[in-house]
Structure 1
């Protein structure tokens, strides 16, 4: 595993996640994303004239959704994409990390809902990906963004990162991928140790 490349790791994670039931995949993904939500929740700046939710409230509702409670997923998604869009335009690297975290959370919420959700006015009418489109599945596209965000870096495509080592820390992103692989693999191992002999559909 130590010599596994970034894109190979994404493929391995995709295979492991594919052995989990949909609900387990979502729970795993929320678990590896959860440490980033605190930085989003701390942001209380008003980003629009008439927000339905504040950013801290949106994160609170996101956590409730992850716990299986009923929430207005459209309102939560709209506020998260608003944070992602507004903060992505800031030159402060810390705000970019907040943006990436918010976009990852919004993309997770889309997976939970299983449908297109209401988005901020700045993205309306655009079929814009909230997360980089390079990984093999919706699950690993979020994982790809998380690897860079969890290592406190602005996102780089892995091939660009190889060619521009002075601009980013690819080994740090790989370490985060490895950590997420271990977290997801533990859930997969527990499922089989409980007596399941084949992946759930």
Structure 2
């Protein structure tokens, strides 16, 4: 649940102010399945912090994404997040939405892991094996444009609850469909800073 405790931890960032880059969090990206008893399905949850409706809030320490609703409620989704050094916090907006999007690794991704990404330097068509999955929400910033950060699907649910991505937030393909249809263009997105080492949390 997005609570007043989160607001106290995040301070002005809950209003999109004072967003900091992710700290030097220690990644633990391998965990036995039994440590991850997540209630995976999207669910409606109450909030005890004032948050305007129609916003996405990503809390990386809990591997949770909230789509806020009127009446102090939100849809809660379990997600995966960027691994150490690749997660970026900040205030963004949805600058594009695509169904079964194509994908091209960034030059930084190819430089970090050429053995994995060089073969896709010319791009990959959308489909079940595409890293962006069934749907993608593209994160933009004022004055910067496309940040190359995405909220997208994955066909690998075992990665949910882990810090394993190249900076993007990932949901299962079923869950990104559920979120995608609710989120209009230009919606505000907050990616909160990491405040603790990457860990695995229960729902």
| TM category, shorter | under 0.3
Normalised by the length of structure 2, the TM-score is 0.27
Normalised by the length of structure 1, the TM-score is 0.27
**More helix per residue: 1 or 2?**
1
Q: More relative contact order in 1 or in 2 (CA 8 Å, sep 6+)?
A: 2
**More strand per residue: 1 or 2?**
2
Point out the structure with max Rg over C-alpha.
1
